Amino acid sequence: MSNYLIYFLVAVGLFAFAALFALFGVYAERKISAYIQDRLGPTETGKFGTLQTFADILKMIQKELIIPAKADKWLFVLAPVIIFVAVYMGFAALPWGPGLVPSKINIGLYYVFAIISIETLGILMAGWGSNNKYSILGAMRSAAQIISYEIPAGFAIISAVMIAQSLDLQVIATQQGVASAETVKFLGFWDVTNIGGILSWNIFRAPHLIVAFVIYFIASLAEANRAPFDIPEAESELVAGFHTEYSGLGFAFVFLAEYSMMFLVSMIGVVLFLGAWNTPLPNIAGLRLADWTTGIFWGIFWVAIKSLALVGVQMWIRWTLPRLRVDQLMNLCWKVLTPLAFACILISGVWRLWLM
Amino acid sequence: MTLVKIMFYILSAIALASALYVAAAKNLVRSVFMFFVTLFALAGLYVLALADFVAVTQIVIYVGGILVLILFAFMLSGRETLEVIQSQKSNFINLSKLPAVLLAVMFFVVMFVALRQINVNEADWVKTAVAEGNVIKPDTVLIEHIGINLMTRYLLPFEAISILLMFALVGAAHLSRKEPQA
């Protein structure tokens, strides 16, 4: 029975993490945007405004859940839950440290990729259920965008999988450090199995994976509906896109899903390309930095730091770049990213055959 | 009753109930969303049968691809078109339903007879497989077998399907192209 108790605890822990991260993420986003735009951001509530998002969520919980008279009530109420659950279920397969993964699945990466695609369905439900022109336009844009960008993202992921030869995220993670069972070569010629650190990360095992990582990162921005790909909720055109009609807890769930999604896609990127829970510090002769900084707690620390750094870049991009037009968006996806991702797959195949 | 059996019955009940709703509901969009529940329950059944790759593929292709495309078609077609479809008369007994009913009954008879005649657990090939230990365990990595088989034994069907998909792609690109101004 204690087994099941642990399962429940892990599930609740992941939910608590997602919720806490969303609170922290909204605060960070406000502070970063304020810094970029030369403002101060929240300052009044708590020290440096740290309690601002807690106050916001308290306000949201108290608010009335308004359901528009002509909305499809069931779809309208269920949509935010499905959007969030889709993202939340993705966390089940992600590794946090050596031997520390909520659910060890042989095809973990494929599972995460599948689960994320359910989010589209939730967004379409929200758009249709709201019975509002802005919502439906936003939902359609979002679906078109997510379906298109799944292709370059998928190919970038495949080119990393071809190097790693596994779909199990924990196996992919283990390969990129001193714990690796097989020989790891830096750029295909220098054996760094015992040196580890940043040198054995996937992006340095095969340099074309840097390109694949950039493709994945751009596509993941689009999948998380983040700027510069935020045309589904373009404020200046569509009020708030697919979540125009949501208030109170429904809106909170949509927001929670967006921030969890940011963390989820960053963490997948970290696991696939940036060494997962492995330390960036290499062993230098007698200075066994990599051995000292590998372990369960170090693993959690590194994976969290790297993912948070990527989330930080996502926020930085959001407040720096203007939004793309729909046609520019599709051009970028189909004419630039997809062919590049195909090239990455080809190079991966050649690399695997001749250099590894 | 083991946990697996309980899960099986729960998932089958969900799959059947939601499939019935899909077939019977008046509201087309809702029935599409209910179809999502059916597919998810089916994916759960595949997982219980240790076919995790099939389960995930089911979600990627049907939920992530086909369902979203169906919804897209709905949203582009507007309310009036949908209302025409929804307001069609549907008596319980209806001549136009005859082929469907016949097909369903015949299929049911075939399945029922087959189930009566074959005792699945006693079949020869099942017995030999169990005796030789040639069975899938929960921790077997299936994708390697799938990959090897696709590239050796089933290479010809695999290539044939890829050419078929290529046809479809070229055809779609041709259809959606702008006509040259005459």
pLDDT band at A234 (very low <50, low <70, confident <90, very high): low
B5 inside domain: yes
What size, in residues, is chain B?
Answer: 182
Residue B7, chain A, CB below 8 Å: the answer is no
* pLDDT score, position A53: 82
Pair A54, A77 in one domain: no
- Check whether residue A182 and residue A293 sit in a common domain: yes
Contact between chains at B143 and A128 (C-beta distance less than 8 A): no
In a domain, B181, yes or no: no
A128 contacts in B (CB within 8 Å)? Answer: 29, 71, 74-75
Where does residue A161 rank: exposed (0-12), middle (13-18), buried (19+ CB within 10 A)? middle
- Same domain for A49 and A135, yes or no, is no
**Burial, A278: exposed, middle or buried (Cβ in 10 Å; 0-12, 13-18, 19+)?**
buried
- The structure tokens listed for A33 are 């945007």
Measure the N-to-C terminal CA separation of chain A; round to a whole number of Å. 46
Q: Total domain count for chain A?
A: 2
pLDDT for B163:
95
For residues A52 and A171, membership in a common domain is answered with no
Shortest distance, CA B42 to any CA of chain A (angstroms): 15
Q: What residues contact A337, with CB distance under 8 A and at least 6 apart?
A: A149, A152, A215, A218, A219
Report d(CA A135, CA A49) in Å as an integer: 32
Average pLDDT in the B60-66 region?
83
Q: Are residues A48 and A174 in the same domain?
A: no
Residue in chain A lying closest to B58 (CA): A114
Distance of CA B112 to the CA centre of its chain: 21
Mean pLDDT over B161-175 rounds to: 92
Instruction: Write down the residue that tokens 């939910």 correspond to.
Output: A15
As given in the structure block, the two tokens for residue A129 are 């259920």
Q: Which pLDDT value is given to residue B168?
A: 93
Q: Is B29 an interface residue toward A (CB < 8 Å)?
A: yes
Residue A191 has pLDDT above 70, yes or no: yes
Give me the mean pLDDT over the A63-88 stretch: 83
Whether residue B151 lies inside any domain: the answer is: no
Question: Measured between alpha carbons, how far is B96 from B90 in angstroms, rounded to an integer?
Answer: 10
- B137 contacts in chain A (CB < 8 Å): none
Measured between CA atoms, how close is B72 to chain A, in angstroms?
7
pLDDT value of position B87: 65
How many other C-beta atoms lie within 10 A of the C-beta of residue A190? Answer: 11
Question: Under an 8 A CB cutoff, do A107 and B56 touch?
Answer: yes
pLDDT in tens, A194-229: 777 777 788 888 888 889 999 999 988 888 877 777
Element (H, E) at B69: helix B68-86
Interface contact B147, partner A, CB < 8 A: no
- Separation in Å, CA A254 to CA A122, A183, A310, B122: 10, 44, 21, 52
Q: Which of A74, A120, A136 lies nearest to residue B64, judging by beta carbons?
A: A120
CA distance A316 to A31: 11
The C-alpha atoms of residue A163 and residue B16 are separated, in whole angstroms, by: 42
Number of other CB atoms surrounding residue A326 within 10 Å: 12
CA distance A262 to chain B (A): 19
Tokens of residue A297, six digits: 């707690």
A163-177 in b/e burial notation, b at 16+ Cβ within 10 A? bbebbbbbbbbbbbb
Within 10 Å of residue A2's Cβ, how many Cβ atoms?
Answer: 6
Whose CA is closest to A86, among A135, A140, A18, A136?
A18
The token pair at B51 is 């076919």
A40: which 2 tokens? 């101060």
Number of domains comprising chain B = 1
DSSP lists the bridge partners of residue A191 as A185
**Angle B68-86/A108-130 helices, nearest 10 degrees?**
30
The nearest CA of chain B is from the CA of A313 a distance in Å of 28
What is the domain extent for residue A44?
1-62
Contact (CB<8Å) B56/A117: no
Cβ distance B52 to A117 less than 8 Å, yes or no, reads no
Minimum distance, in Å, between the CA of residue B150 and any CA atom of chain A: 16
Min Cα–Cα distance to chain A from B96, Å: 30
Beta partners for A97? Answer: A100
Distance from the B90 Cα atom to the nearest Cα atom in chain A, whole angstroms: 23
Cα separation of B182 and B179, whole Å? 8
Flag whether A12 is in a domain: yes
Instruction: Tell me: do A96 and A37 sit in the same domain.
Output: no
Q: Are A75 and A129 in contact (CB under 8 A)?
A: yes
Residue A128 lies in a domain: yes
- In terms of CA atoms, which chain B residue is nearest residue A146? B64
Domain annotation covers residue A5: yes
pLDDT of residue A243: 76
Which residues, in sequence order, are bridge partners of residue A100? A97
- Domain match, A51 and A120 both: no
B163 is a domain residue = no
B77 lies in some domain: yes
The CATH number given to whatever domain includes residue B33 is 1.20.120.1200
Q: Is residue B56 part of a domain?
A: yes
Q: Does the beta-carbon distance from B29 to A72 stay under 8 Å?
A: yes
- Domain boundary, last residue among A23, A41, A62: A62
Assess whether pLDDT exceeds 70 at residue B182: no
Residues in chain A closer than 8 A to B68 (CB atoms): 120-121, 124, 143, 147
For residue B2, how many C-alpha atoms fall within 13 Å in the half-sphere facing its CB?
4
pLDDT at B154 over 70: yes
Together in a domain, A16 and A138: no
Evaluate whether residue A67 is within a structural domain.
no
Instruction: Give DSSP secondary structure letters for A218-235.
Output: HHHHHHTT-TTS-GGG-H
Q: Do the domain assignments include residue B63?
A: yes
A35 and A115 inside one domain = no
Cα A243-A245-A249 angle, rounded to 5 deg: 75
- Mean of pLDDT over chain A: 83
In a domain, B1, yes or no: yes
> Which chain A residues touch B75 with a CB distance below 8 Å?
124, 127-128, 136, 139-140
CA atoms within 13 A on the CB side of A185: 11
Facing residues of A190 across strands? A186
A113 touches B at CB < 8 Å: yes
Nearest to A124 by CA among A155, A67, A86: A86
Diameter of chain B measured on Cα atoms: 73
Complex-level ipTM: 0.78
Q: Which residues contact A203 (CB under 8 A, 6 or more apart)?
A: A209, A210, A213, A273, A274
Q: Please report which confidence band the pLDDT of residue A181 belongs to, taking 50, 70 and 90 as the band edges.
A: confident
Widest Cα–Cα separation across chain A: 71
Residue A189 shares a structural domain with residue A56: no
pLDDT (tens digit per residue) in B79-88: 666 677 666 6
CB distance from A10 to chain B under 8 Å? no
Query: Cβ–Cβ of B53/A107 closer than 8 Å?
Result: yes
- Between helix A208-223 and helix A248-273 the angle, nearest 10°, is 170
Q: How would you classify the pairing of strands A190-191 and A185-186?
A: antiparallel
Q: What is the mean pLDDT of residues A239-265?
A: 82
Domain boundary among A34, A62, A90: A62
Residue A287, strand partner residues: A284
| pLDDT on residue B114 | 87
Instruction: Look at residue A93 and tell me whether its pLDDT is greater than 80.
Output: yes
Report the pLDDT value the prediction gives residue B88, as an integer from 0 to 100: 63
Q: Residue B1: its pLDDT value, please?
A: 67
Which residues are within 8 A (CB) of A164 and not within 5 positions of it... i.e. 6 or more apart?
A: A171, A172, A175, A202, A272
- The answer on A20 and A108 residing in a single domain is no
A261 touching chain B per CB within 8 A: no
Q: Say yes or no: A49 and A98 in one domain.
A: no
Asked whether A272 and A113 are in contact (CB, 8 A), the reply is: no
Distance, CA of A276 to CA of B155 (rounded, Å): 35
Residue range A287-301: mean pLDDT, rounded: 76
d(CA A160, CA A162): 5
* Boundary (domain end) residue, out of A10, A29, A62: A62
User: HSE (CB half, 13 Å, CA atoms) of A98?
Assistant: 16
CB atoms within 10 A of CB A134: 20
Range of the domain at B28: 1-88
Mutate to test the interface with B, among A72, A106, A113, A133 (most CBs of B within 10 A): A106
